Amino acid sequence: MADDETPSQTQESSTAREFSANGTSMSTTDVEAKLDKGNIGEAESSLRERLSLNSEEARTLLGRLEYQRGNVEAALRVLDGIDLQAAIQKLQPSSQQAARLVLEGVYLKVKSLQKLGKFAEAAQDCTNILDAVGRIFPQGIPDAQVESKLQEMISKAVELLPELLKQAGKYQEAMAAYRRVLLNPWNLDNDCCGRIQKAFAVFLLHSGLEAGPPSLGAQADGAYVPKNNLEEAILLLLVLMRKIHHGDIQWDPSVLDHLMYALSLCSQTPVLSKQLEELKPGVFHRTERWNLLALCCSGVGQNKAAMNLLRKSLHINERPNDLTALLLAAKICSEDSQLAAEGVGYAQRAVDNAKGVDEHLKGVGLRMLGLCLGKQAKVSSSDFERSRLQNEALKSLDSALSFEQDNPDIIFELGAHYAEQRNLNAALRFAKKYIDITGGSVMKGWRLLALILSAQQRFAEAEVVIDAALDETGKWEQGPLLRLKAKLKVSQSRPMEAIETYRYLLALVQAQRKSFGPMKIDSQVEDDKVKEFEVWYGLAALYSSLSHWKDVEVCVKKAREMKQYSAELVHTEGFMHQERGEIQEALASYINASLLDPFYVPSKVWIGALLSKLGSNSLPVARTLLSDALRIEPTNRKAWYHLGMVHKDDGRLADAIDCLQAASMLEESDPVENFRSIL
């Protein structure tokens, strides 16, 4: 039934319309003539005499006729002449036909008021219908004993009430109405109930109004009670998905769309994966299902599983040019150096296929291409190839920016790439632009700006930037900023102030853990352990630079309680042995650190440096280790310096000069913390 149709409509044909009641029929022609002349009373009398109706029933039929003729205001005038409240009070369950006519009169009045924009009045009259139904059927509407046309009218009123309240701007009342119509036994069919559940879920997700949990009277013993709008919306959508799985209602793709949105808000994409797997074959094309499952997997960090699904989806015999799948595959690859080369291929295909209506996605493809090229450069074994890939990465990001000039992510990535290549003026320009465009609301922008200033040896200005960032950041998120502030104080030869900053940070981390207590989920606890580890490790490194070895041992012990196996801690112990003149013990610690993390550069550098002092036979091994360190981190000035000394001892004076010059240049632009720490 269309929205503008009414229940129990009069029989119509192309030539004539009729009134039918009590086994008698009559043409509407005479009645319409009287109505056109404004003689409502005469029209009512004619109906009452010919069809044996009472006043309320006759007025209802007249109102229905005017409504069907499109005379909404006239219909409202007719229906206003009925004492509907008095008629409702007299209704009895045994007389469903009389009840239907009276309630239909109210419903027609509701629809007329809605069409005239009088939503609050319409909502009140619609509420009267449901109240009347509750009095007629106090035990709920029986499945098989209710007249079909009465049931149809009740269902329409039930579905209409929340919509009227929303149109009237009464959102809290709309929330209550949704719960009322879903919890009461209105004998709704599956389709009607499904429409109401979907509308309520959408309202919960997008209204911007916090509904709060259902009232205690509506809560069944032992039932799960949602804590907020999001949980309630997800429960409703999951109920709808269950109905779809069982075949109770037709497949509605928008239900899955809303569920995807809701679950992504709370990082519960595995739940969505289960729903996708339960859908019957044929609902989705298999590649579309693979793509959605890949999105779910990547949302919880299961990138290996996501890539396996995307490789199937992008196979030449499936949909190799699906733009969404290509971009997702490129994004996943851009986060893993070992997959970066594969990601370049996906990103380039995405750029090539971003045409026509999809041309707006070319900027996204170019950004992914730039990120993949940058990641690929980090694992290149050739200096020439690394330089070429870095330049191509910057060109791709610049091209992406031309498509999306105000995209903060591209602006940040350009700033970080320029910073890594020590083009500090360009990096500074992009870092400032990023802070402007985000309004200083994102911490990594402040950190990038402070690191660039520190690389320019402008330590005091960098500290001012960190203080400004701390003013804009919540207490529990200040950890990375405070660690950076401590390092800036060390760079300005103020170690005691740095120690105080670390102590404050340690107190903050411990207070955070106590504040959240045992209710925190495991991943949150683990995150805090890592943060506390970084504080103890930072203090250990600081005390190590001051040769306070007892304090170093205490801090290392505390850090090991947080993280037992750590290349950083073993390296710190090695440095402590080295400073004490315990060379063999230092070398053993550095080797152990490298075994724990083959990509940990500081240990490779010191192994190479120590081996270079053990005689000419060790120089080739030292040179290999230092070269490997530079392959991982091309801007490590200590690696360049020690490699220069190895070349010098080996008689390669030209190579030695080049390496020492590189070390000198990098020392002038060395940040207090590696730029990679913010990527």
Task: Answer whether 18's CB lies under 8 Å from 28's CB.
Answer: yes
**Least confidently predicted of 21-25, 238-242, 393-397:** 21-25
d(CA 308, CA 239): 31
Burial (0-12, 13-18, 19+ Cβ within 10 Å), 120? middle
Name 252's Cβ contacts closer than 8 Å, sequence gap at least 6: 194, 198, 240, 244
Helix (H) or strand (E) holding 76, with range, is helix 72-80
| 139 to 177, 178, 179, 187: CA distances (angstroms) | 19, 20, 18, 11
The reported pLDDT for the residue numbered 437 is: 95
Average pLDDT for residues 619-638, to the nearest whole number? 92
Burial (0-12, 13-18, 19+ Cβ within 10 Å), 29? exposed
Read off the pLDDT band of 529 (50, 70, 90). very low
Per residue in 322-343, pLDDT (tens digit) is: 999 999 999 999 999 899 999 9
Residue 6 pLDDT exceeds 70? no
**Least confidently predicted of 137-146, 202-211, 532-541, 669-678:** 137-146
Residue 664 pLDDT exceeds 60? yes
Average pLDDT for residues 301-319, to the nearest whole number? 94
Residue 604 pLDDT exceeds 70? yes
Helix (H) or strand (E) holding 132, with range, is helix 119-136
Task: Answer whether 18's CB lies under 8 Å from 11's CB.
Answer: yes
Cα diameter, the chain: 124
Q: CA 554: distance to chain centroid?
A: 42
The reported pLDDT for the residue numbered 472 is: 86
> What mean pLDDT, rounded, does the chain reach?
87
d(CA 611, CA 607): 6
Instruction: Name beta bridge partners: 26.
Output: 19
Angle between helices 424-438 and 408-420 (to 10 degrees): 160
Task: Report domain 406-487's class.
Answer: mainly alpha
Residue with tokens 């996204």: 364
Domain limits, the chain: 406-487, 599-678
Print the SS3 string covering 156-191.
HHHHHHHHHHHHCCCHHHHHHHHHHHHHCCCCCCHH
Query: H-type helices in 285-382, by residue range?
Result: 286-299, 303-313, 323-333, 340-353, 362-378
| 561 to 230, 540, 603: CA distances (angstroms) | 38, 14, 22
Q: CA 280: distance to chain centroid?
A: 27
d(CA 88, CA 436): 64
Per residue in 261-302, pLDDT (tens digit) is: 998 888 888 888 888 888 877 777 889 889 989 988 888 889
Read off the pLDDT band of 214 (50, 70, 90). low
Task: Report domain 599-678's class.
Answer: mainly alpha
Q: Which residue has the higher pLDDT, 225 or 651?
A: 651
CATH topology of 406-487 equal to that of 599-678?
yes
Per residue in 25-76, pLDDT (tens digit) is: 788 887 888 888 888 888 888 888 888 888 888 888 888 888 888 889 988 9
Residue with tokens 């360190």: 629
Average pLDDT for residues 98-119, to the nearest whole number? 88
Name 621's Cβ contacts closer than 8 Å, sequence gap at least 6: 608, 611
